[in-house]
Structure 1
Amino acid sequence: MEPANDQRQRELALFLKTRRARLSPEQVGLPSGGRRRTPGLRREEVALLAGVSADWYTWLEQARDIQASAQVLDSIAAALRLDATERRHLYLLALRQLPADPQPADEAVPRTLWRFLELQAPCPAIATDQRMDVVAWNRPACLIYGDYGAMSQRDRNTVWRTFTSPYMRELLREGWEPHARHRLAQFRAGYARFAGDPWWLAMIEDLNRISAEFREWWPAHDVLNGPEGTKRNYHPSAGLLVFEQAAFTVSNAPHLTAIVNMPSPEDDTASKLARLTNDSPPSKDELAE
């Protein structure tokens, strides 16, 4: 088996194990059968529910190189009570969809997208790629989240920065953990398309080494897609800023996601944003224009 395929099979096996562990027999209409050494369903119970042989399902969780049909994958998804995002994750890991295109180069960010982000001011707006790197941004985003233009490429990765930046922890305060878990689940969902890719493996290894929370949460195999909803940021000079987030795929660059944080209509975030952007000195790029 190719190294990337081998990694993908292991990722699939671990994902199935974690989904199985969270279900009780009672939840799926099976008798409990007395005390269990480990939580969750047994492999043979999942196999029974999915209509496959216990040996075949065991091989799947042992990361063997076996093929599954779309019908069988749907049966497993139903047996494990997977939601829509988790079902898609299962399909990607089982190679039932074409692999994503290689990571596009930085210059693939369209000029029109930069212009679009600029026009969202005073709302902070960014664009991220499939690795969750920030590849485009506007000035309000820099004033609130940090100067992306001065950051290294690693620091512009939203997952890396979430787990390693003291500034982000202070900006989010009590909201840091749900934000970090959400980011991690998005990262895990994206990883399904690139399991075994050297860049992803290096990032995961470094995050495991540097962050205790990442080490604790990564094995849970939680997956999510979509925006976070309401966000509360504690800016050092503007104070509390409350945002509602909108995210969407860029039509002429589908590998990119545009994210706009709009001020909540229920507080004074809009006036704080106006003061923050008006009071802040122009950037070097703005002076050069």
Structure 2
Amino acid sequence: MKPTPDSHLGGFLRARRAQLRPEQCGLPATDSARRVTGLRREEVAALAAISVDYYTRLEQGRVRASTPVLATLARALHLNEDEERYLYELAGRTDDRPRRRGRQPQHLRPAMRRLLDQLTHTPALVLGRRLDILAWNPTATALYTDFSALAPARRNYVNLLFTDPAVRELHKEWDPDARDAVAALRLEAAADPGDPELARLVGELSVRDADFRTWWAEHRVSSASYGTKHYRHPVVGDLTLDCDTWASPDGSGQRLMVLTAEPGTSSHDGLRILASWTARTPSNEDLNR
């Protein structure tokens, strides 16, 4: 029987996953129990946030890959530009291949820094692309964590929700908060589907956390621009805070996230205590990413 284009695609996918070492993709290093060379099918599926059954049918040439799936596979399999072009050619979707473009480092806008410095009694963060945490004020440090002590790659709002036990425990209603964060990240992905850093983040979280993998596959989107969050702080106790996010008008994608409490409430008193502890702490840091 003459090979079909889809079977050629399946052969390329099998060959490429056999060439990758698990540790290259943020997976545990190869152990003696591993029966296949390179990545397993289920590992590639998890990295690409698609079902194992769908990926299996792709390798078997029984289904035609959509453009979004090709994009996620290209990132999951760490394809270079030539390999990515070949992938799209095999799938018959050459015209759909996204063109890679350079991405400038994220620099904190001076106006955002001024706003952050003036918010002395409420937690505030500046979020950039991929919900990266670009800057913070002392009260945000007191509420969440010491962001300056984290490696730059870990300073991401979604990453902390899923991988930092203290941040996870802080959220009394972690499930809805985390799902909203995933939906906001989905919106980011739609705006820049070729972002390699976003692909790395999604791949790592998909492998590490089953909830993230499930919620990412749901394709739910949300701007998450406002809402109420409930925290359980280890020192000041329960906090009910209104969360509001304002986008910068310059198109940079930077957003100011501010958490406030109703005056006269115990939550308001709790924020004042946190602010008093951090009055002499440096305000924020530009990551220059």
Structure 1 counterpart of 2:213: 215
Structure 1 counterpart of 2:169: 170
Contact 1:125 1:260 in 2 (8 A): yes
- Show structure 2 runs of 5+ residues with no match: 1-47, 49-62, 69-95, 285-289
1:61-93 CA distances to partner (integer Å, 9 max, x unpaired)? 95269xxxxxxxxxxxxxxxxxxxxxxxxxxxx
Contact 2:122 2:260 in 1 (8 A): yes
Per the TM alignment, residue 113 of structure 1 is displaced from its structure 2 partner at its CA by 1.4
Matches within 5 A, 1:65-214: 103-106=103-106, 108-173=107-172, 175-214=173-212
- Give the whole-Å Cα distance in 1 for the aligned partners of 2:112 and 2:99: 25
- Give the whole-Å Cα distance in 2 for the aligned partners of 1:186 and 1:270: 27
Per the TM alignment, residue 217 of structure 1 is displaced from its structure 2 partner at its CA by 1.6
Q: Which amino acid aligns with 1:125?
A: A
Q: Which amino acid aligns with 2:266?
A: D
Contact 1:100 1:193 in 2 (8 A): no
Secondary structure (helix, strand or coil) at the match of 2:159 reads helix
1:259-285 CA distances to partner (integer Å, 9 max, x unpaired)? 111113472212221122213573367
Q: Which amino acid aligns with 1:261?
A: L
- Give the whole-Å Cα distance in 1 for the aligned partners of 2:101 and 2:257: 22
- Give the whole-Å Cα distance in 1 for the aligned partners of 2:152 and 2:128: 12
Q: Which amino acid aligns with 2:281?
A: S
Does 1:238 pair with 2:236? yes
Contact 1:110 1:253 in 2 (8 A): no
* Greater Cα shift, 175-184 or 256-265: 256-265
Per the TM alignment, residue 115 of structure 1 is displaced from its structure 2 partner at its CA by 1.9
Structure 2 counterpart of 1:63: 66
200, 222, 225: which is aligned to 2:223?
225
Per the TM alignment, residue 256 of structure 1 is displaced from its structure 2 partner at its CA by 0.5
Q: What is the total number of aligned residue pairs between the two structures?
A: 198
1:236-273 CA distances to partner (integer Å, 9 max, x unpaired)? 11111111111111234632011111113472212221
Q: Which amino acid aligns with 1:257?
A: R
Contact 1:103 1:130 in 2 (8 A): no
- Give the whole-Å Cα distance in 1 for the aligned partners of 2:252 and 2:99: 14
Q: Which has the higher contact order (CA 8 A, sep 6+)?
A: 2
Per the TM alignment, residue 118 of structure 1 is displaced from its structure 2 partner at its CA by 1.8
Contact 1:121 1:140 in 2 (8 A): yes
Q: Which amino acid aligns with 1:211?
A: D
Structure 1 residues 195 and 274, CA gap change in structure 2 (3 angstroms): same
Per the TM alignment, residue 101 of structure 1 is displaced from its structure 2 partner at its CA by 8.3
Q: Which amino acid aligns with 2:212?
A: F
Secondary structure (helix, strand or coil) at the match of 1:255 reads coil
- Give the whole-Å Cα distance in 1 for the aligned partners of 2:99 and 2:121: 38
Structure 1 residues 242 and 183, CA gap change in structure 2 (3 angstroms): same
- Give the whole-Å Cα distance in 2 for the aligned partners of 1:172 and 1:104: 33
Structure 1 residues 101 and 118, CA gap change in structure 2 (3 angstroms): farther
Q: Which amino acid aligns with 2:246?
A: F
Structure 1 counterpart of 2:89: none
1:136-171 CA distances to partner (integer Å, 9 max, x unpaired)? 111100110111122112221111111111112210
Structure 1 residues 248 and 279, CA gap change in structure 2 (3 angstroms): closer
Structure 1 residues 258 and 104, CA gap change in structure 2 (3 angstroms): farther
Per the TM alignment, residue 123 of structure 1 is displaced from its structure 2 partner at its CA by 0.5
What TM-score, normalized to structure 1? 0.61
Per the TM alignment, residue 233 of structure 1 is displaced from its structure 2 partner at its CA by 1.1
Contact 2:160 2:168 in 1 (8 A): no
